[in-house]
Amino acid sequence: MSMMPPEHAFPGYSREEKRKRIFAIAAASSGNLVEWFDFYIYAFCAIYFAPAFFPASDPTAQLLNTAGVFAAGFLMRPIGGWLFGRIADRRGRKTAMLIAVVMMCGGSLVIACLPTYSSIGGWAPFLLLIARLLQGLSVGGEYGTTATYMSEVALRGRRGFFSSFQYVTLIGGQLAAVLVVILLQQVLDESQLRQWGWRIPFFIGAVGALVAMILRRTLHETSTAESRGTRTAGQITELLQRHRAAFLTVLGYTAGGSLIFYTFTTYMQKYLVNSAGLSIRTASGVMTVCLFIYMCMQPLFGALSDRIGRRTSMLLFGALGTAATVPVFAGLQRFDSPYAQGALILVALTIVSLYTSISGIVKAELFPPDIRALGVGLSYAIANAIFGGSAEYVALALKSVGHEGAFYWYVTGMMTVVFLVSLRLPKRATYLRHDH
């Protein structure tokens, strides 16, 4: 908090206006938390429900199948980014966020009630895939609209700090998913978790989504009638013709950012079990602590970006990520202490925080209001689907053919791309500087 600028640096805001904007950040964030809890609970429960939908004798093959469905959900993100970006730019950010959270609720409810392979045969994995595609569509729209809304409602001069709460709640969704799994591990034995216990978190997610919908109905709209009414509002042709450079820049650094984020969050639990030799319970405990500390880092790094600039933060992220990825993975296999392994994961997540804390705002500052949600959402969704969604699948596939180390160099190469692309970022915000 000491990195935040003094109060007199924000003229034009009354005390009531500040209060309303901070409440809006909290309300939007709560919905974001539920969305990501629903999406990530799949990854953390996969170890338990994989045999129910993909009967095979090899545990790695089962996880590979569930990771494939997880990746398929990401493939819907570009469609969601386009659809909800267009809705947000033409009908309002609030409308898009409400539709997204209702859609996520439906996907979670379907998975919670889904019969297994032994009951309906091949229909089980097929319906699981459909539910994940629905959730992928929802999350594809959630990111862009929430990032846009939070960047627009945040106080000028503190946009990095306040926008960082998007990833506070995104990571909080992951953390909540891990905590629910750990709680179930304490009250249910492994056979109960594999038979029916894994369904409980999906029911919790569905109920949480309904609560988030109620909270989001209280939000005020940040887009103006003028921006929504322009001919170019939400038009993909406008985005690709007049703002192609910004679009490609976001694609470039989001590719590496998404890959390393999912590598050290959702995939890391499986890596600790399958490659580093930890038990499922120990790995869950390590990741719980790491995710909590990582979540708390976000406002600090967001406030730092308000001081040093988004471009500097992104350049540091690319350079440090390139240098540290292979050594961190080597250390995770070399050390057999969960404390040492947890410390290494935190080193990686500290570096990732340079990106995740400003992920939304650094994109929003590159696009004008009439195509901002589309520009943020679509560029993020495409890169995230290709590189973030495939992270687990690529890692497990390389492991299955005996070349696990190649994955570490793949991540390193993409971080080099992040550094090079970040050189294209402007030193000061192109747009959003004087908005609202």
User: pTM for this one?
Assistant: 0.82
By the 10 Å C-beta count (0-12 exposed, 13-18 middle, 19+ buried), 201 is classed as buried
pLDDT at 327: 95
pLDDT at 5: 43
- Domain regions of the chain by residue span: 18-422
**Domain 18-422 in this protein, CATH class:** mainly alpha
pLDDT at 1: 39
Residue-wise pLDDT tens digits, 387-427: 987 888 899 889 888 888 899 999 999 999 999 999 988 87
pLDDT at 3: 42
Joined together, the tokens standing for residue 327 give 């050594």
pLDDT at 8: 43
Residue-wise pLDDT tens digits, 286-313: 988 998 999 999 999 999 999 999 999 9
Long-range contacts of 317-320 (CB under 8 A, 24+ apart): 317/257, 317/351, 317/352, 317/354, 317/355, 317/415, 317/418, 317/422, 318/253, 318/256, 318/415, 318/416, 318/417, 318/418, 318/419, 318/420, 318/421, 318/422, 319/419, 320/351, 320/354
Q: How far is CA 31 from the centre of its chain?
A: 13
Q: How far is CA 125 from the centre of its chain?
A: 24
pLDDT at 230: 84
Whether the Cβ atoms of residue 292 and residue 389 lie closer than 8 Å to each other:
no
- The residue ranges of the chain whose pLDDT is under 70 are 1-13, 56-64, 70-71, 74, 429-436
Q: Which sign, positive or negative, has the C-alpha torsion 55, 395, 251, 227? A: positive
Whether the Cβ atoms of residue 383 and residue 254 lie closer than 8 Å to each other:
yes
DSSP assignment letter at 6: P
